[in-house]
Amino acid sequence: MDIYDRIRTYTDRRVRRWLMRRTGRRGTGFRQIPDEYLYGTLGLYRVPQRRADLPRAKV
């Protein structure tokens, strides 16, 4: 698992848990809150899967 996967996993988990606590529901939110809601509706930034997906600083 590279660093981008770790960042993506961490942010997904933290946002889901925060949403669950905010609404007063129990659990971690992985079944109740789909990825489409996080990235589509809420507009959470999707961290690229590989370094090659990022634009280069120098052209």
- 53 pLDDT tier (thresholds 50, 70, 90): low
At residue 50, the pLDDT reads: 66
* Predicted TM-score of the model (pTM): 0.70
2-48 pLDDT per residue, tens: 788 888 889 899 999 999 999 898 888 888 889 899 899 989 888 77
- The residues, ordered by sequence, that sit 6+ positions from 30 with a Cβ below 8 Å of its Cβ are 16
Determine the pLDDT at residue 18: 93
Tokens of 54: 């990022």
Q: For residue 20, what pLDDT is reported?
A: 92
